[in-house]
Amino acid sequence: MGSSTRRSFIRSALAAGAGATASSLVGGAAGAGAAPTAKTASGPLLDLAAARMPYRQDDPRWAKKLMWDRKQVIKVAREFNHFTSSEANSLLYRYEDGNNIGNEGCMLTCLAMVMRLLHPQASPVWSPATLNRAAQDALYYSRSGLSMVTLYPDLVSEMTDGNVQLAISQDYLPGMKGWPRMYTNTAPLLRAYMSLSPAERTNFLVMVKTGTYDDTVASHYALLNPNAPTTLSTNDAELLDPAMPLKRTGSWKLSDSAAWITQEPQIKKAWEKAGIRPTQIGGAWVFSRWTSDHSGPLTAPLVDAWAQQLAPA
């Protein structure tokens, strides 16, 4: 399938099943915003309230929508990949109500927030539900487990026609031998982000990983809150967290997220075994808008600050 045909297929599939437009979810605000240029390194803060951020995994509009069918995944693994029963059963954690967005979709929900905030002119508006459907229809992952990785760099770029792309990625291998613990005030890339003002972050968002290196059950993904004031010493950063309870409002930090998700005994046990700390960061992914002429990502403030952090003392 050619790239133009593939994009057309994705758009038609999404439009057919989305059932929501920008105006119906955010009062028309999603249609605003001109394409950025190289000179717009900073600007008005991202309007988190208008976009109803953060998206929550347990929002009833999408919480029960399946990402993977565990029975099908096990069947495919046994019949086609020749996995043992134990290996096949270990691929996905067994949830009583299924492997749906509410249970499995923290990264998916983060990507939907990235696309909603950095590409607000999209219609239908991006949400966990619309992104899950589009990703499955475009075979980025399938309910049967033929693919189970969300392939976030390609997914975000393709769904936004390249207007939002992964610019920088780092994996800190939390809990793995030989890898030091990283925090927002020790990892150079994250220290650079913390040194910026909210006005300098308007064209990019940072997704962070917490928990274990193994993504089966005890890892988690959230966005750093771009509008929260920070300093180089900030190590309990504010988040836009898919796991934040629906009724909770106000500030929500790394420590709040850790306390909430480790209420699950299996997750707590895995964190303790790997020696994971509440504000520890397992990886960072920077998603950025691109210039209107598509000459490059609008990450200059972050790259400049990162270079300063990496410079010899």
Q: Are residues 128 and 259 both part of a single domain?
A: no
Res 224: pLDDT: 98
User: Looking at the 3D structure of the chain, how many domains does it have?
Assistant: 2
Q: Tell me, yes or no, whether 61 lies in a domain.
A: yes
Domain that holds residue 183: 163-313
- Give me the pLDDT at residue 12, please: 53
Q: Write out the chain in H/E/C secondary structure.
A: CCHHHHHHHHHHHHHHHHCCCHHHHHCCHHHCCCCCCCCCCCCCCCCCCCCCCCCCCCCCCCCCCEEECHHHHHHHHHHCCCCCHHHHHCCCCCCCCCEEHHHHCHHHHHHHHHHHHHCCCCCCCCCHHHHHHHHHHCCCCCCCCCCCCCCHHHHHHHHCCCCEEEEEEEECCCCCCCCCCECCCCCHHHHHHHCCCHHHHCCEEEEEEEECCCCCCCEEEEEECCCCCCCCCCCCCEEECCCCCCCCCCCCEHHHHHHHHCCCHHHHHHHHHHCCCCCCECEEEEEEEECCCCCCECCHHHHHHHHHHHCCC
Same domain, 302 and 182: yes
Q: Is residue 153 part of a domain?
A: no
Do residue 205 and residue 293 come from a single domain? Answer: yes
Residue 44 lies in a domain: no
**Domain end position, chosen among 105, 138, 171:** 138
Predicted local confidence at residue 43, as pLDDT: 66
Would residue 80 count as lying in a domain?
yes
Q: Are residues 107 and 240 in the same domain?
A: no
Kindly state whether residues 235 and 120 are assigned to the same domain.
no
Question: Does one domain contain both 191 and 60?
Answer: no
Is residue 19 situated within a structural domain?
Answer: no
pTM of structure: 0.85
Specify the pLDDT at position 185: 97
Residues 195 and 297 in one domain: yes
User: What's the pLDDT score for residue 207?
Assistant: 97
Do 134 and 183 sit in the same domain of this protein?
no
Mean pLDDT, 10 residues at a time, the chain of 313 residues: 49 46 30 42 83 97 92 87 89 84 94 96 93 88 71 84 94 96 97 96 97 90 97 97 96 98 96 97 96 93 96 88
